[in-house]
Amino acid sequence: MNDSPEARWQAALIAAIEGRADDGFDARGLAVYRNNYRVGLADTLAYVYPVVKALVGDDFFAGLAREYVGRTPSRSGDLHRYGDAFGDFLAGFEPARALPYLADTARLEWLVHRAYYAPDAAPLAPDAFAALAEADWPRLRFALAPGVAVFSSPYPVGRLWLYHQPGAPADWRLEPDAGGDTVRVARRAGRVEVGVPAPADAAWLAALAAGDTLEAATDAALDIDAGFDLEAALVGLLRDGLIARLLVP
C-alpha cells in the first residue's frame, strides 16, 4: 500500500463513503457520495434479486439491502459482480429466519444473474460425437456452457422462481410440505431459463456439471429411475447448446 498523502486521502475517502470512518471530509459533499454508494448498491441488489424482493416486500427488502451493503464492500469496478454473498447473508440474518427458503431463493437468483452475463461458448461442432471411439464413451466428460448451473435446495425454490415470472398463474400456491427442487439454470438464445427437471434428469445433469464421467452420471440417474432415457437427455443437452466441449479421456 502506497503511503503518499494522495494514496492515503483516496483510501480515507473510500472508507468514509463506506461509512467505516469519517475523517474530516466536507460533510455536504461526503453525504452526496455516501448516498450514491448506498443507493447504487441497494439498487443493484434489487435488480439482481427481484424474487426475494417480491417475497418480502419493498420495505423489508430495503432493510435487508441496507444491512448487506453496510457489511459488504464492493470488490469490483463492474457492478454486475456485486451481491454474490446475499444468499449466505440471508441464511445467517436473524430477522430473515422466519422465511427459511429466502437464502436459497437468493442463491438461485444469483445463478440466474451470472448465467445472463456469462460469456458465450462456441457451439459444439455437429460431428464432435462422430469422432469418438466407442471405448471413449464411458469415460467421456463434458465442459458445460458458461452459466449452466444445477442447484439443489430442500425448498421449492425453482417453483417459487417460476411463479414470480411474467405469465405465471395468479392463483399459485405452495404447500408447506411442497418438498425441495433441483433446478437447472441455463441461457438459451439470449434468455435465461430456469427449469425443474425430473429427479433422474436432475441427478444426471448435476453429476455432469460436477465433472463426473458420462457413465457415472448415467448410473446415478438410473439409480433414481430405471427408466431414465440417456439418449433423450443427451439430445436435449445438445439441442439447447449446453455442451461447450467434449473432454475425451
Partner 1 sequence: MTASLPSRAGIGLRAPHYRAVLDDSPELGWIEVHSENFFDGGAPLAMLQTLAERYPLSLHGVGLGLGSFDPPDAEHLARLKALVDATRPAAVSEHLCLNHAGGRYANDLLPLPYTAAMLDAVAGHVARAQDALGRRLLLENLSSYLAYPANEMGEADFLAELVRRTGCGVLLDVNNLYVNQRNLHVDVAAFLAALPADAIGEIHLAGFSERDGLLIDTHSQPVHAPVWALYEQVLARFGPRPTLIEWDIDIPPLSTLVAEAARADACLEAVR
Chain residues that interact with partner 1, rule: CB under 8 A: 1-2, 4-7, 9-11, 13-15, 17-18, 25-26, 28-33, 36-37, 40-41, 73-80, 82, 116-120, 147, 187, 190-191
Where b means 16+ CB within 10 Å and e means fewer, 45-54 reads: bbebbbbbbe
Report, in Å, the least distance between residue 70 CB and partner 1.
14
- 118 beta partners: none
Minimum distance from residue 245 beta carbon to partner 1 (Å) = 16
In the complex, what is the shortest distance from the CB of residue 121 to partner 1, in angstroms, rounded to a whole number? 9
Q: What is the distance between the alpha carbons of residues 86 and 67, in angstroms, rounded to a whole number?
A: 10
Of 74 and 152, nearer to partner 1 (C-beta) is: 74
Cα 96 to Cα 59, 99, 176, 177: the distances in Å are 13, 6, 17, 20
What Cα–Cα distance (Å) separates residue 91 from each residue in 42, 77, 155? 18, 27, 13
CB 167 within 8 A of CB 191: no
Minimum CB–partner distance for residue 148 and partner 1 (Å) = 13
Q: Identify which of residues 28 and 173 has a Cβ nearer to partner 1 in the complex.
A: 28
Closest separation in Å from C-beta 120 to partner 1: 4
Number of Cβ within 10 Å of residue 193's Cβ equals: 13
Q: Enter the C-alpha cell of residue 84.
A: 454474490
Of 81 and 164, CB closest to partner 1? 81
Q: Which is nearer to partner 1, 18 or 109 (CB)?
A: 18
C-beta closer to partner 1: residue 117 or 172: 117
d(Cα 33, Cα 28) in Å, to the nearest integer? 9
Looking at the Cβ atoms of 34 and 164, the one nearer to partner 1 is: 34
Tell me the CA end-to-end span of the chain in Å, nearest whole number: 46
Measure Cα distances from 118 to 105, 144, 169, 185, 187 in Å. Answer: 20, 12, 30, 12, 9
